[in-house]
Amino acid sequence: MTSNIIDGRAIAAELRGKVKDAVSKLESQPRLAVVLVGEDPASQVYVRSKIKFTQECGMQSVERRLPATATQEEIVETVRALNNDDSVDGILVQLPLPEGINSDAVIEQIDPSKDVDGLTETSAGRLMLGKSGLRPCTPTGCVVLAKSALGDLSGKHCVVLGRSILVGKPAALLFLEQNCTVTIAHSKTDNLPNVCRSADILIPAVGRPEMVKGDWVKAGACVIDVGINRVPHPNKPEKTRLVGDVAYNEAASVAGAITPVPGGVGPMTIACLLRNTVLAACARRGWKTPETLNV
pLDDT, residue 233, reads 84
pTM comes to: 0.95
Q: What is the mean pLDDT of residues 26-40?
A: 95
**What is the percentage of the chain residues whose pLDDT exceeds 70?**
99
**Catalytic amino acids?**
50, 94, 117
Condensed to tens digits (0 to 9), the pLDDT of residues 255-270 reads 999 999 999 999 999 9
| Range of lowest pLDDT (172-181, 193-202, 217-226, 230-239) | 230-239
| Range of lowest pLDDT (49-58, 171-180, 192-201, 236-245) | 236-245
Q: What is the full DSSP assignment across 115-152?
A: BTT--SHHHHHHHHHT---PPPHHHHHHHHHHHHHHS-
Contacting residues for 139 by C-beta, under 8 A, at least 6 apart: 167, 170, 171, 174
- Name the residue ranges covered by the structural domains of the chain: 28-111, 137-267
Q: Do domains 28-111 and 137-267 have the same CATH topology?
A: yes
Q: Which residue has the higher pLDDT, 295 or 111?
A: 111
pLDDT, residue 3, reads 67
pLDDT, residue 237, reads 79
Is the pLDDT assigned to residue 102 strictly greater than 70?
yes
Q: What is the mean pLDDT of residues 56-70?
A: 96
Is the pLDDT assigned to residue 1 strictly greater than 80?
no
CA–CA separation, 217 vs 203, rounded Å? 11
Q: What is the mean pLDDT of residues 138-166?
A: 97
Give the homologous superfamily in CATH for domain 28-111. Answer: Leucine Dehydrogenase, chain A, domain 1 (3.40.50.10860)
Q: What is the mean pLDDT of residues 200-217?
A: 97
Is the pLDDT assigned to residue 2 strictly greater than 60?
no
Q: What is the mean pLDDT of the chain?
A: 95
Which CATH number among 3.30.470.10, 1.10.357.10, 3.30.540.10, 3.40.50.720 corresponds to the domain 137-267? 3.40.50.720
Is the pLDDT assigned to residue 65 strictly greater than 90?
yes
pLDDT band at 295 (very low <50, low <70, confident <90, very high): confident
